Amino acid sequence: MSETNEAKPDTPSTGPPKAFDVAAIRADFPILSQLQTTSDGSKKRLVFLDSAASSQRPNQVLDAMDEVYKTGYANVHRGVYQLAERATNAYEGGRKKIARFIGAPDAAEVIFTKNATESLNLVAGSWGRQNLGPGDAVLITMLEHHANIVPWQMLAAEKEFEIRWVPVNEGGELILDTLDQLLDGVKLFSFTAMSNVTGTLTPVRRLVDAAHAKGALACVDACQAVPHQPVDVTEWDADFVAFSGHKMLGPSGIGVLWGRRELLEDMPPFLGGGGMILNVTTEGFIPDGLPGKFEAGTPPIVESAGLGAAVDYLSTLGMEAVRQHEIELTAYAMRSLTEALGEGLTIHGPSEPAARGGVLSLTLDDVHAHDISQILDESAVCIRPGHHCAKPLMRHFGVSATARASLYIYNDTDDLDALTEALVKARKFFAL
Amino acid sequence: MAGLEDLYREIILDHYRSPRNRGELETPPAHRAEGFNPLCGDEIVVYVEADENDRIRDIKVGGQGCSISQSSASMMSGAVKGKTIAEARGLMGAFKAMMSIHETDIGGDGSEAEQGIDSPVETIATAELKLGDLEALRGVVKFPVRIKCATLSWNTLNQVLEEIEAD
Summarised one tens digit per residue, pLDDT across range A409-429 is 999 999 999 999 999 999 998
Average pLDDT over residues B87-102: 81
Which residues belong to CATH 3.40.640.10 in chain A? 62-316
Residue of B nearest to A395 (CA): B41
Kindly report which listed range (A335-339, B71-75, B122-126) carries the lowest average pLDDT score: B122-126
Q: CA of A375, closest CA in chain B: separation in Å? A: 8
**Side-chain-side CA neighbours of residue A406 (13 Å):** 28
- Is B8's Cβ below 8 Å from some Cβ in A? yes
**Which residues of A fall within a CB distance of 8 Å from B146?**
370, 374
Chain A CB contacts of B42 below 8 Å: 370, 400-401
Closest residue of chain A to B63, computed from CA coordinates: A400
- Using CA atoms, how far apart are residues B135 and B143, in angstroms rounded to an integer? 15
Q: How far is B91 from chain A (nearest CA, A)?
A: 26
Whole-angstrom distance, CA of residue B111 vs CA of residue B104 = 10
Instruction: Choose from B10, B36, B67 for mutation: most chain A CBs within 10 A.
Output: B67
Topology given in CATH for the domain delimited by A62-316: Aspartate Aminotransferase; domain 2 (3.40.640)
The share of chain A scoring above pLDDT 90, in percent, equals 88
pLDDT in tens, A247-304: 999 999 999 999 999 999 999 999 999 989 999 999 999 999 999 999 999 999 999 9
- B4-166: CATH class: alpha beta
Q: Tell how strand A240-244 and strand A217-221 pair up.
A: parallel
- The answer to whether residues A315 and A11 touch, using CB atoms and an 8 Å cutoff, is yes
Backbone angles phi, psi at A271, to 5 degrees: -110, 145
| A22-45+318-426: in CATH 3.90.1150.10 | yes
pLDDT in tens, A134-193: 999 999 999 999 999 999 999 999 999 999 999 999 999 999 999 999 999 999 999 999
Above 80 in pLDDT, residue B122? no
How would you classify residue B124: left for phi > 0, otherwise alpha for psi between -120 and 50, otherwise beta? alpha
Q: Looking at CA atoms only, how far is residue B120 from chain A in angstroms?
A: 30
Q: What burial class does residue A328 get, using C-beta atoms within 10 Å of its C-beta: 0-12 exposed, 13-18 middle, 19+ buried?
A: middle
Residue of A39, A386, A430 with shortest CB distance to B1: A39
Q: What is the pLDDT of residues A150-167, one digit of tens each?
A: 999 999 999 999 999 999
What interface predicted TM-score (ipTM) does this complex get?
0.75
Q: Going edge to edge, which strands form the sheet with B31-37?
A: B31-37, B42-50, B56-64
pLDDT of residue B111: 40
Q: Average per-residue pLDDT in chain A?
A: 93
Residue B2: its pLDDT value, please? 64
Tens-place pLDDT, residues A33-57: 999 988 778 899 999 999 999 999 9
- The segment(s) of chain A belonging to CATH 3.90.1150.10 are 22-45+318-426
Return the pLDDT at A19.
67
Chain B residues with CB-CB distance to A386 below 8 A = 39-41
| CB-closest option in A40, A378, A391 to B41 | A391
Q: How many CB atoms lie within 10 A of CB A108?
A: 17
SS3 A228: coil
Indicate the DSSP class of residue B55.
Answer: B
Task: Choose among B88, B92, B101: nearest CA to B140.
Answer: B101
Name the residue facing B42 among A39, A400, A432 (closest C-beta): A400
Q: Do A39 and B4 touch (CB under 8 A)?
A: yes
For B148, which residue in chain A has the nearest alpha carbon? Answer: A370
* Interchain CB contact of B67 with A (< 8 Å): yes
User: In chain A, what residues touch B34 (CB-CB under 8 Å)?
Assistant: none
